[in-house]
């Protein structure tokens, strides 16, 4: 009987208390299954106002009866997080006040870290059987930064930072752990395919880029867009004007590993190439009061429509990057080269809330021809398959990275040349590291040793996407710079 009383008291506390916070129950009443089913059905049909009223009563009960002090700030944060998490959407989450400053960090500024863009699903949806649901995923290493030089690649997954599992961390918390101080050791447990290995890096002052541009050849201009910030449209405009003044007759826009950002900047960029036509359509929940939105290009253009345009994409090309890709591809304005894009066809809104931010999914967008790319992606016109490595090759890579074969080689072979890079690969074939990876590793070391302004804008010798893009534009690859 006492057990029945206790069960009923708990149910009463959860489903409704009187205004004084005293549980309303009959001490000698036993709980029948039919009553439980009725209560369950009632709870499912209750309005949000009734649920909030019930929660208010529950808090009143806790405030009056819980033996210890209540941390109301922690309770509020957890309640907000739980409400957003209950939506069941990996892209909707709450950024707490403690993480708000990091979230607002200027993407054009400097910070101390290993130099990566990363993504991570909301830990509330972690599935132990699905590594992508709980590990940190490298979207893109910054060119020349510590992660880039160490050979970290897009789509590498990290399960632990300094031995601590990332499973319960948010993306912001994981990012903070990869910053630290200059000279600190940060050890990452990296998963690449079926291979697992550790890489130890030291944080440095790195700059988060938005775009990089330059001439690849006498005729071809190149722009790499790393993210779509509020100023990316302006940056791309400046880059195009500069390239046109330098004689560019063809353009390549590199969107590899660009995980998105602001939709407006992506549309501003697409509008530079289109004199008309639909760029995207967005549909919203009817209850939001928003009607379907269709965005059209402005008649004024910056780039002549006769100028050849090629987009480079891969599995890290997502969201706003796919909006740009879809707008230019569906309107017949650009050729798309690379591998299947990520497939994120939904958009989110971010609003300040209680010292932090709430991000929720609000729209589902479609390309100009009506394609729903969500969880599908965009198929390039010209496919370039990404290289896969065996477990043995990755084990050899891990061993190789524990040694320092770069410093002495660069000292005895100064100068960033194709010959020096190929020679390094030839000298280290016994390491078991694939030839193409050896070339990339020593290339990164050469580039980092150069002043930033002196570095080539892209690798025209050993980057298979770039070489394929030059071939698609009927451009021969220079043997030397």
First to last CA, the chain: 88
DSSP state of 478: P
pLDDT top residue among 204 and 25 = 204
Q: Does pLDDT of 36 surpass 80?
A: no
Q: Does pLDDT of 203 surpass 80?
A: yes
Q: What is the total count of domains within the chain?
A: 4
Nearest to residue 335, comparing CAs of 177, 143, 468, 246?
A: 468
Residue 393 belongs to a domain: no
Residue 297: predicted pLDDT: 97
Query: Helix H segments across 278-350?
Result: 320-330
Per-residue pLDDT tens for 261-296? 899 999 999 999 999 999 999 999 999 999 999 999
User: Does 219 lie in the same domain as 201?
Assistant: no
Q: Is 233 helix (H, G, I), strand (E, B) or coil?
A: helix
Among residues 167, 188, 207, which one ends one of the domains? 207
Residue 79 belongs to a domain: no
Q: Return the ∠ at Cα 474 (arms to 470 and 475), rounded to 5°.
A: 55
Burial classification of residue 47, based on how many CB atoms lie within 10 Å of its CB (0-12 exposed, 13-18 middle, 19 or more buried): exposed
pLDDT top residue among 47 and 191 = 191
Residue 107 belongs to a domain: yes
* Spatial separation of the C-alpha atoms in residues 243 and 474, rounded to whole Å: 19
Q: Does pLDDT of 448 surpass 80?
A: no
* Spatial separation of the C-alpha atoms in residues 59 and 62, rounded to whole Å: 5
Q: Is 378 helix (H, G, I), strand (E, B) or coil?
A: coil
What is the mean predicted confidence (pLDDT) over 181-206? 89
Residue 31: predicted pLDDT: 40
User: Does 342 lie in the same domain as 239?
Assistant: yes
Position of tokens 């699903």? 121
User: Does 329 lie in the same domain as 243?
Assistant: yes
Per-residue pLDDT tens for 248-258? 999 999 999 88
What is the mean predicted confidence (pLDDT) over 167-182? 87
Among residues 207, 225, 247, which one ends one of the domains? 207
Among residues 177, 207, 237, which one ends one of the domains? 207
Mean pLDDT computed over every residue of the chain: 85
* Spatial separation of the C-alpha atoms in residues 150 and 398, rounded to whole Å: 10
Give, in order, the Cα–Cα distances in Å from 426 to each of 83, 148, 305, 422, 432. Answer: 57, 22, 45, 6, 11
User: Could you list the residue range(s) of the whole structural domain that residue 32 is in?
Assistant: 2-70
Query: CB pairs under 8 A, 24+ apart, for 396-403?
Result: 396/431, 396/432, 396/433, 397/151, 397/197, 397/433, 397/437, 398/197, 398/198, 398/199, 399/431, 399/432, 400/428, 400/431, 400/432, 400/433, 401/150, 401/151, 401/199
User: Does 230 lie in the same domain as 194?
Assistant: no
pLDDT top residue among 16 and 459 = 459
Q: Where are the beta strands (DSSP E) in 317-355?
A: 335-338, 346-353
Element (H, E) at 443: helix 435-449
Residue 302 belongs to a domain: yes
Residue 261: predicted pLDDT: 87
pTM of this structure: 0.74
Q: What is the share, in percent, of the chain residues with pLDDT greater than 70?
A: 87
User: Does 335 lie in the same domain as 237?
Assistant: yes
User: Does 342 lie in the same domain as 253?
Assistant: yes
User: Does 355 lie in the same domain as 238?
Assistant: yes
Residue 391 belongs to a domain: no
Q: Does pLDDT of 184 surpass 50?
A: yes
Q: Does pLDDT of 143 surpass 90?
A: no
Residue 429: predicted pLDDT: 94
Residue 388 belongs to a domain: no
User: Does 444 lie in the same domain as 325?
Assistant: no
User: Does 359 lie in the same domain as 273?
Assistant: yes
Which pLDDT band holds residue 107 (cuts at 50, 70, 90)? very low
Per-residue pLDDT tens for 320-365? 999 999 999 999 999 999 999 999 999 999 899 988 899 999 999 9
Q: Is 187 helix (H, G, I), strand (E, B) or coil?
A: strand
* Spatial separation of the C-alpha atoms in residues 478 and 461, rounded to whole Å: 8
Nearest to residue 83, comparing CAs of 358, 354, 347?
A: 358
Q: Is 245 helix (H, G, I), strand (E, B) or coil?
A: helix
Residue 390 belongs to a domain: no
User: Does 171 lie in the same domain as 220?
Assistant: no
Which pLDDT band holds residue 4 (cuts at 50, 70, 90)? very low
Residue 458: predicted pLDDT: 92
User: Does 278 lie in the same domain as 420?
Assistant: no
Residue 290: predicted pLDDT: 92
Residue 479: predicted pLDDT: 64
Q: Does pLDDT of 43 surpass 80?
A: no
What is the mean predicted confidence (pLDDT) over 441-467? 86
Which pLDDT band holds residue 33 (cuts at 50, 70, 90)? very low
User: Does 324 lie in the same domain as 261?
Assistant: yes
Q: Does pLDDT of 34 surpass 70?
A: no
Q: Which of 40-44, 70-74, 361-365 has the lowest mean pLDDT?
A: 40-44
Which pLDDT band holds residue 37 (cuts at 50, 70, 90)? low
Position of tokens 């253009």? 301
Q: Are 154 and 116 in contact (CB under 8 A)?
A: no
């Amino acid at each position: 009987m006492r057990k029945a009383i206790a069960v009923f008291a708990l149910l009463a506390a959860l489903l409704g208390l009187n205004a004084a916070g005293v549980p309303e129950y009959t001490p000698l009443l036993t709980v029948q299954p039919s009553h439980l089913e009725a209560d369950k059905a009632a709870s499912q049909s209750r309005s949000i106002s009734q649920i909030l009223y019930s929660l208010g009563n529950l808090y009143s009960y806790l405030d009056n009866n819980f033996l210890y002090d209540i941390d109301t700030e922690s309770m509020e944060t957890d309640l907000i997080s739980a409400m957003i998490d209950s939506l069941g959407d990996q892209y909707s989450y709450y950024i707490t006040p403690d993480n708000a400053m990091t979230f607002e960090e200027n993407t054009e500024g400097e910070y101390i870290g290993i130099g990566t863009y990363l993504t991570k699903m909301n830990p509330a949806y972690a599935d132990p059987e699905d590594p992508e649901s709980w590990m940190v995923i490298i979207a893109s290493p910054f060119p020349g930064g510590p992660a880039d030089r160490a050979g970290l690649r897009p789509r590498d997954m990290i399960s632990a930072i300094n031995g601590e599992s990332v499973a319960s961390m948010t993306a912001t918390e994981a990012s903070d752990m990869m910053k630290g101080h200059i000279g600190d050791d940060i050890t990452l447990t990296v998963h690449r395919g079926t291979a697992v290995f550790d890489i130890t890096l030291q944080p440095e002052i790195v700059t988060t880029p938005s775009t990089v541009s330059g001439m690849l050849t006498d005729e071809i201009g190149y722009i790499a867009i790393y993210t779509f910030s509020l100023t990316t449209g302006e940056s791309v405009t400046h880059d195009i004007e500069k390239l046109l003044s330098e004689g560019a007759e063809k353009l390549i826009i590199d969107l590899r590993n660009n995980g998105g950002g602001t939709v407006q900047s992506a549309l501003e960029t697409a509008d530079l190439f289109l004199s008309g036509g639909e760029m995207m359509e967005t549909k919203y929940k009817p209850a939001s009061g928003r009607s379907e939105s269709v965005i059209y290009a402005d008649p004024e253009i910056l780039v002549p429509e006769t100028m050849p345009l090629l987009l480079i994409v891969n599995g890290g090309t997502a969201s706003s990057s796919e909006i740009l890709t879809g707008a230019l591809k569906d309107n017949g304005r650009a050729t798309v080269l690379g591998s299947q894009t990520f497939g994120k066809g939904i958009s989110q809104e971010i609003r300040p809330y209680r010292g932090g931010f709430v991000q929720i999914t609000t729209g589902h967008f479609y390309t100009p021809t009506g394609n729903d790319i969500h969880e599908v992606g965009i198929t390039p016109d010209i496919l370039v398959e990404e290289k896969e490595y065996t477990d043995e090759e990755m084990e050899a890579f891990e061993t190789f990275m524990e040694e320092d074969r770069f410093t002495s080689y660069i000292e005895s072979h100064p100068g960033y040349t194709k010959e020096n890079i190929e020679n390094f690969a030839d000298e280290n074939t016994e390491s078991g590291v694939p030839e193409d990876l050896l070339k990339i590793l020593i290339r990164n070391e050469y580039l980092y040793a150069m002043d930033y302004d002196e570095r080539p804008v892209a690798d025209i010798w050993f980057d298979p996407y770039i070489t394929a893009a030059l071939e698609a534009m009927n451009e021969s690859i220079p043997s030397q710079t």
